[in-house]
Amino acid sequence: MMDFAHWLPIVWAVILIAAISIYVVLDGFDLGIGMLFVAERDETRRNVMIGTIAPVWDGNETWMVLGGAVLYGVFPGAYATLLPAFYLPIMLMLIALIFRGVAFEFRVMTRDTPRARQWDFGFMTGSAVAAFCQGAILGGVIQGVKVTDGAFSGGSLDWLTPFTVLCGLSVMCGYALLGATWLVWRTTGGLEAACRRWAGRLAVGLFACIVAVSFWTPLLHAPYLRRWTEWPNIAIVAPVPVLVVVFGLLLAASLRKGHSRVPFLCALGWFFLCLSGLGITVWPYAVPPTLSLWDVSSPPSSQFFQLVGTAILLPIILTYTIYSYRVFRGKVSEADGYH
């Protein structure tokens, strides 16, 4: 039983990190496309951009609901500490996601009225604000939360620091890159060419962000620094920065050479590496720097009951999600659309 209680939270932490990662990359390109509305003013092209995600965005956002629900059911101590700690950025993010989400339908249904432009603006701003908040919350978790007796005891603006602002901007930049490379893959002609240009610039920006966050994070808490600099950890974590550079070079080359799918995969690679890096840094804390996974987890009976369902359902979910992506595969152009 002791072993059971030890291993279940670890299994769940891996599932939770996987769910968050899936959310980040899937909704990442949705939110990125929203932010790219800044650069693309042409309505026909905007319709194509939205057309590439309209059938799948809802499923993408569901991974965030899963993240929240798993945190609630399996790590209620973390859910009850982190959510009050990030009360304002979470509320702001939810409101931003409301504008982003309804804009998919509303902008189409109000076309030919002045309202359509307003919903486009809502889509763009909602995407940008949601991305920033997600980055700031992530940064806030890494930075740590003030906890007394297992409950949040800090101030409502504790989360807002230069570090979390940098994290927010990094995630905005990263999502925009995912969006641009997704569009390189899924569109044609002038829009695709424009996305290649944007992707190149965003990649440079994101690389700078990754470097800045990587050097700043270990300075936040002593254990973080030890994790990355002490032997033998260093041998295990060394490939992460090396691979970041490799993917960066590959991304630059593939954008130049006109590959359609490789740039998106490289951007995914970057996200995977960054999230792994964060995982390595923070492990095994659920609420750094005080509460570990085991401090915040629900009783083994809850975790086990939920694990059985997850083991059966997650493969099924992945199967039909992939099916639904396949139904809408291929390039979307201004001429054809979904007929």
According to CB under 8 A, which residues from 47 to 86 bind another protein?
Answer: 47-48, 50-51, 54-56, 58-59, 61-62, 64-66, 68-74, 76-77, 79-84
CB of 137 to another protein, least distance (A): 11
Q: Does 160 sit near another protein (CB under 8 A)?
A: no
The piece of 25-33, 168-176, 262-270, 322-330 that touches another protein (CB under 8 A) is 322-330
Q: Does 42 sit near another protein (CB under 8 A)?
A: no
CB of 175 to another protein, least distance (A): 17
What residues between 207 and 266 interact with another protein by CB under 8 A? none
Q: Which of 188, 214, 292, 302 binds another protein (CB under 8 A)?
A: 302
CB of 127 to another protein, least distance (A): 13
Cβ proximity to another protein: between 168 and 277 the closer is: 168
Q: Which of 95, 165, 212, 252 binds another protein (CB under 8 A)?
A: 95
Q: Does 290 sit near another protein (CB under 8 A)?
A: no
User: Measured between alpha carbons, how far is 274 from 322 in angstroms, rounded to an integer?
Assistant: 24
User: Measured between alpha carbons, how far is 23 from 27 in angstroms, rounded to an integer?
Assistant: 6
Q: Does 156 sit near another protein (CB under 8 A)?
A: yes
Cβ proximity to another protein: between 253 and 325 the closer is: 325
Amino acid letter, 5? A
CA 274 to chain centre: 11
Q: Does 111 sit near another protein (CB under 8 A)?
A: yes
| Dihedral in degrees, nearest 10, Cα atoms 38, 202, 15, 286 | -90
- CB under 8 A, 24+ apart: contacts of 327-332: 327/55, 328/55, 328/56, 330/186, 331/186, 331/187, 331/188, 332/48, 332/51, 332/52, 332/186, 332/187
Q: Which burial class, exposed, middle or buried, applies to 149 when counting CB atoms under 10 A from its CB (0-12, 13-18, 19+)?
A: exposed
Structure tokens at 134: 């997600």
Length of the chain: 339
Q: Does 317 sit near another protein (CB under 8 A)?
A: yes
